[in-house]
Each structure stands twice: as C-alpha cells, then as structure tokens.
Amino acid sequence: MPTTPAPPRASLLLLAYLAFVSLGLPDGLLGVGWPSISADFGVPTEAVGLLLTAGTVGYLTSSVLAGFTLARVGVGALLAGSTLLASLALTGYAASPGLVVLVGCALLLGLGSGAIDSGLNAYAAGAFGPRHMNWMHAFFGLGVAIGPLIMTAALSAGLAWRWGYGIVAAAQLALATAFALTVRAWRRRDPAESGAAVATSPAPPAAQVSIRATLRLPAVWSGALAFALYVAIEVSAGLWAFLLLTEGRGLSAAVAGGCVSAYWGSLFVGRVVQGVVAERLGARLVLRGSLAGMAFGAVLIAVPGSAAVAVLGLVVVGFAAAPVFPLLTLTTADRVGAAHADRAIGLQIGAAGVGAALVPAGLGVLIGTTSVQALGPALVVLALALVVLYELGARRPGPERPLPAEAGPDQPTSPVPAGTGQAGTAAQPVSGPVLPVVDGR
C-alpha cells in the first residue's frame, strides 16, 4: 500500500528561515558600519579587505569540514554550536578594542556562518522540497536587507556602531538557544518513521562510506565547479553592475544604484515565485530554463550602448538565477548518491565561496586593464560554461533515491528514481542527474 510523505515540520522550517536571515545580517551591517569602524580605529578604508579575507577563510574551512562531520555530530548540534560561535564573534565585534581583534572575530564569524550554511543546506536537501528550499535561500536576501536598517537605526539614534553588532549578537544567541532546544527534532527520520518512500537498495550511512570514496567521485568535483561558476555570475553581476551602468552606459549614480537594487530584488522575488513553479513543473525543467535565462540576460548586458537593455539584462539574470543554487543543492544526492550527499554539499558550498571571492576579483583586474564593457562578455562566457556543464551531467544515469516531498495526504508515493517527479505525478521530471550555488551569498 502506498505511503504518504511527511511534510517538513513547521517549527524546523521557521528556524531554517531565521537561520538564513541570520546569515545575511552581518553582511548588511558591515557596509553601513565600516566608515564609523575605520574612523574609530584610525585605519584606512581598504583595511576592510582584512576582515573580508579572514571571514572568507573561516567560511570556506567550516563549510567544507561541516559536510564531513555531519554524520558524526548531527545537524542539530552543528547548528546550535555554529550559531553560538557566530553570536560570540559578533559580541567580539561589539567589544573589540582594535582592528586585530576585529579580524580574529571575522574569522570566527566565518567559521560559524560556513557551518550553518553547509549544515542547513545538507539537511534541507534531504528534508525539504523545491518550494521551501528556494524560500529558505530567499530569506538570506531578507537578512542582507535588514542588516543595513539595523545599523542605520543605531547610528541615526546617536549610538555607536557597536550597538548594531550587539543587537544582532543577541538575536544569534536566541537562535542558538532555539537550535539547542530542538537538537533531537533535527535528527533525520528513517523512512519507516516518516512514512516516506523507501528505495529498493538503501544507501549506507555517510559515516560508513570512506572519505576517499566521496572524493573519487567525478560528480562531486564537477558539481563543485558548477557551484563556483554560478556564484561567480551572481556576485560579479551585482558587484560590477553599478560601474557598468555609470561609466559604461552613462546613468546617474542614483539611477544606477536603484537598478542594482532591482537586480538583487529580482533574485529575492525569483526565489519566492520559482520555488512554487519548481514544485509544479519539476526541478530539471526549471533549472534548464533558468540557466538559459541567465545566458540570455548576460547577452543583454553585453549589448553595447543601451542602458535600458543592460538593466533589463540584469533583472533577467537575477530572476533566472534565483532557483539555481537551491535546486542544485536539493538534487545533490541524485548526482552523487545519498551516502555522499552531505560531504558533496559541504564541498559545493566551499566552492561557491571560492567562486564568489576569486572570479569577481579577477573580473575587476580585467575591467581595470581593458574597460568596464568587458563585464557583459565575461558573464556570457561564464553562463555558457555553466549551461554546458549542466547538460553534460544531465546525460549521465544517476543513483536512485527517494526525493523529499511536501505533498498533501492525498498524494501517495512509491520508490522514485532520480529524475522522476514529486509534484503529484511520477511522469513529471524533478531533477535528473545534473551538475550543479552565495547562495545566496
């Protein structure tokens, strides 16, 4: 008799959303608070690079290691400890006497954030469907938007920049407490407990699979490369669009700033909207359309002369890119197998951080040696490379596994091979074996 999949618990969904808001908050604080911080400590503006470097090192380290330790410590304990570490780091920001201490706190904050990002993505890939996976990543953008408001409110009230970090540190501490109180609830339920469909040959737990076996899978490394490409496009477009629109297309600073905000806004809206679309049409179809949309938007950005066309291209890239990171994370087990999925996701998150750091910086060098008009063609090359990487992976047969579902009680399921639908009919493709995304970062 067919079984009914259990929907995600509302309490865990809420905590996952709040955790992704918390990931975005510190990023928003720094941009508004740095002028006051640099003045307080008497350091030049470019010293912010030390904080960003330290944070990136911590983020990459913990995101990769989290994927290899999840099976041993459990996602609940990992989230509780990592959020507490982030809270302590932000408290250190608020109490820091100088730049050296601030850099150390940035490293700790990166360690906490990377583990939260990797751990939650690994859990959600097995427990959430396309809709909630996209919405979870959308909440990161909400956190980035709220962070500047918190710091602006503190400074406008005549308070020191330290208050902004203190407020967010208190929020992180409350979240860490919530994770600690729900450690057992985050335990992945067996299919027999949850009523989910069971594959005919269940994969062994990750703890019983050697690390070497995971690292020898080509899909693990091709997936990491694709995540790096995706985030490189997302971050590069947002970082250099202002310069393109002002110096390259003649827009005023105010108008160009609004257009860049529209780009990030389209990414947020796209994740909210396309999470529902992916649940109905399947992840494979949505991913193909999204990657094609990213390439088309990049072509529009590359068209010389017209500012309006470039702005349209930015919005198209943002909206099309929205579901890529969440859906590729969601389908990781289809490419590498369930036993390797947690580790693969950790590597993918780490690769995304590398792509976000190196490629935009490299494009900055390219723009400096040529002109800002190089941005569009560079985005086209990156987008086409991602499309090719995806299509090559989509032709390979993948391992079978039961997909997470959020169906209602009237939707029975049965063992489903990778690539079959989960939105009510087995004939609808969900994810096929594909290659893979800051996130939202």
Query: CA-to-CA distance for 274 and 290, rounded, in angstroms?
Result: 10
With residue 146 as reference, give the H or E element that holds it.
Answer: helix 130-156
Listed by start position, the domains of the chain span: 10-184, 211-394
The reply to whether the predicted model has a pTM over 0.75 is no
Query: CA-to-CA distance for 292 and 89, rounded, in angstroms?
Result: 40
Residue pLDDT, tens place only, 285-328:
888 999 999 999 999 999 998 899 999 999 999 999 988 888 88
Contact between 236 and 375 under an 8 Å Cβ cutoff? The reply is yes
More confident position, 65 or 97: 97
Q: What separation in angstroms does the CA of 414 have from each of 197, 199, 283, 390, 409?
A: 5, 9, 19, 27, 14
- Examine the pLDDT at 32 and tell me if it is beyond 80: no
DSSP string, 380-420: HHHHHHHHHHHHHHHTS-----PPP----TT--B----TT-
Task: State which amino acid sits at residue 430.
Answer: V
Residue pLDDT, tens place only, 170-210:
999 999 999 889 888 877 544 334 333 333 344 455 556 77
The chain-wide mean pLDDT, for the chain, equals 77
Backbone angles phi, psi at 305, to 5 degrees: 95, -55
Query: CA-to-CA distance for 190 and 194, rounded, in angstroms?
Result: 6
SS3 44: coil
Please state which of the four CATH numbers 1.20.1250.20, 2.60.40.10, 3.40.50.300, 3.40.30.10 is assigned to the domain occupying 10-184.
1.20.1250.20
How big is the CA angle at 441 (ends 318 and 213), to the nearest 5 degrees?
A: 110
Q: Which of 141, 61, 28 is nearest to 353 (CA)?
A: 61
10-184 and 211-394: identical CATH topology: yes
SS3 3: strand
CATH number of 211-394: 1.20.1250.20
